[in-house]
A and B are shown apart, each in its own frame.
Chain A
């Protein structure tokens, strides 16, 4: 039976709609995987000698133990964001004569083969071997330590699923736990109560008493059982297999009414962004990247190369534009035939999108005003970049949207989600960011900083002035490519 489930799994991988389509992306992910593997392995191999060199008075394994708790918490954090138990795939198996326990075990055991469980091994094994090789301790205790560490990794693996089950619907319930966690972290940081050290001391005991290593293993097995029970109990259509239904707030965005003709479209787009996971994350990203300027404005070395601030300015004021705009009109992929058959002139549709993007640029520029602290030049340059974004980059992005053929499922999680990403998305970044920087640099180099700024503003204003014509032209392009877009957006699968 297991064999059959595995073959199903393989088929779903090789037959997925996008397999082979986005080779470039696969290669990129492959490189990332290799990179992390290499880094972890390097760290694992080097850890022993590093500790020996920088902390000659410490016993390496005991020192490492003190950081285990912090590592585990971080691991839980990123697993929480990136790793999910793929329960939905088992829905078709519900009515087939397959024992529930088998399917549940399959899903759980499959999660063991995750990359996240493999990475820590790259540190644990070489580090443990070094300890044995250097005869720091007997072989058996070190092996027990390695077993315990792997047990802890797997404990985190399964603890994550339990936590996710509990809290994904109800993030507020996480607050007290977060408060406790932060308090412990602060106490630890200010050396008041060092839970990480106490945890480390507990791990040290394993070296004295190898049998203690069975505790983490037992915890892992217990969590496995817990998950198993959890899943078995919910192996019904109305249990974990059901997609969640949220109650709708119907009074949202009524204020957009005042925008006249474009109001229905704007309202539509705002609902799109607010009610779907992936576009919503674009907003949070934008707010996060507002802080991006701090990396550059605080460093004196960049003040000799002010062209770099153009890049920062375009980026800060245009991050939402980039995030949202690059997937226009793929956001509407799910109902693109309707958009095309309804009484929606393409030009109006695009004008509304451009309006929304311009609005976001204005808001981000206002939010970026505190950067005036770093000087008026930066403040004015950001405004110039914003005008350039509105006038030139917005129409450019909409134009690039006509190359979009890949559907976006709005509800999929935004983390590590490359759905809808194709070569077009990568290529369009170049003119959007590089052209303004390059042109500014030319003006700055041969005339002055101010002239560069005036250039950006003028280019932007010309773009705003000609926006109507530009969008008319873009609408023609969309119209020409309409059939290919409808066809492309129909293709489901990640």
Chain B
């Protein structure tokens, strides 16, 4: 369970995030939508204690993230390429993450075997360093690495961006399978309304740091989101 209370982040007078209360129950697949600058990445960074909140705090399974490091063993994430180590090969990177999460080589190999399709033969056994992979392939490595070690909380910032269509579809399948098993909480942000409504049970819309919509996904959700985001255009017309 993840709870944010009175959470604000203010940069030199500009409020970039202001969430009074947000509660994400365990096992939920939670989607975060919003235009550029809405505060999605800021929220994730606060949740990972990469930024210091101006006020308030975030609790990850009852642990205050800015006070203790105890949330790290069960939380994994992929925000951007600064989560990859450029001079490692994908395999080395996976094993390294595995080591950090008490998974031995065999465990990691077993997990990777499930992603053979996803990797499309472009990642494993190519003797290439991560820094030399294309952006899309780097992203694949980061996403899969975030799934190593049965984390209870998985945070993915825009996982669909930069991926080719086939991989996007595969990724949706993977996320759905994992959330159906029940106890993993997924937090995903995306600019793609179709993808996110497909994978997430709940969708929250941020606008300039403020929570403006909180919807449990249904048939009507996509339409609702589309009309919300085209509101301004309609107003102009």
Footprint of B on A, CB under 8 Å? 245-250, 263-264, 267-268, 271-272, 275-276, 334-338, 340-346, 410-411, 482-483, 486, 490
Contact = CB atoms under 8 A, between A and B. Distances in A.
A343 B128 contact: no
Contact of B83 (A246, A264, A275, A337): A337
A247 B101 CA distance: 28
Given A340-B49, A343-B100, A344-B72, A248 B84 contact: no
Nearest to B86: A334
B93 to A, nearest CB: 10
Interface of B: 45, 48-52, 69, 72-73, 75-77, 79, 82-89, 91-92, 96-97, 99-101, 127-129, 131-132, 149
Given A334-B85, A337-B45, 9 more contacts: A264-B96, A275-B129, A335-B82, A335-B86, A337-B83, A340-B49, A341-B48, A343-B100, A343-B149
A271 B87 contact: yes
A268 B127 contact: no
Q: Which label, helix, strand, loop or mixed, suits the secondary structure of the A interface? A: helix
B52 A342 contact: no
A403 to B, nearest CB: 18
A486 B127 CA distance: 30
B112 to A, nearest CB: 14
Contacts of A337: 45, 48, 50, 79, 82-83
Contacts, number: 85
A483 B87 contact: no
A335 B84 contact: yes
B49 A276 contact: no
A267 to B, nearest CB: 8
A245 B149 CA distance: 31
Contacts of A486: 50-51
B139 to A, nearest CB: 14
A342 B82 contact: no
15 contacts: A263-B99, A264-B96, A267-B96, A271-B92, A276-B87, A334-B85, A335-B82, A337-B82, A338-B83, A340-B48, A342-B76, A343-B149, A410-B87, A483-B51, A490-B82
A272 B45 CA distance: 26
Contact of A346 (B69, B91, B131): B69
Which of B75, B77, B85 gathers the greatest number of chain A CB atoms within 10 Å?
Answer: B85
Which of A250, A263, A275 has the most C-beta atoms of chain B within 10 angstroms of its own C-beta?
A250
Nearest to A344: B100
For the complex of A and B, 8 pairs with smallest distance between CB atoms: A264-B99, A338-B83, A275-B87, A341-B48, A343-B72, A245-B132, A483-B52, A248-B89
Contact of B91 (A250, A275, A341, A483): A250
B5 to A, nearest CB: 20
A250 B126 CA distance: 10
Contacts of A483: 50-52
Contacts of A246: 129, 132
Contacts of B76: 342-343
Given A263-B99, A264-B96, A342-B72, A248 B129 contact: yes
Contacts of B69: 345-346
Contacts of B84: 335, 338
Contacts of A249: 127
A194 B97 CA distance: 61
A483 to B, nearest CB: 5
A267 B69 CA distance: 23
Nearest to B91: A250
Contact of A271 (B48, B88, B91): B88
Contact of A245 (B88, B92, B128): B128
Given A335-B83, A342-B72, A264 B100 contact: yes
Contacts of A263: 99
B128 A338 contact: no
Contacts of A271: 87-88, 92
Contact of A341 (B49, B85, B89, B129): B49
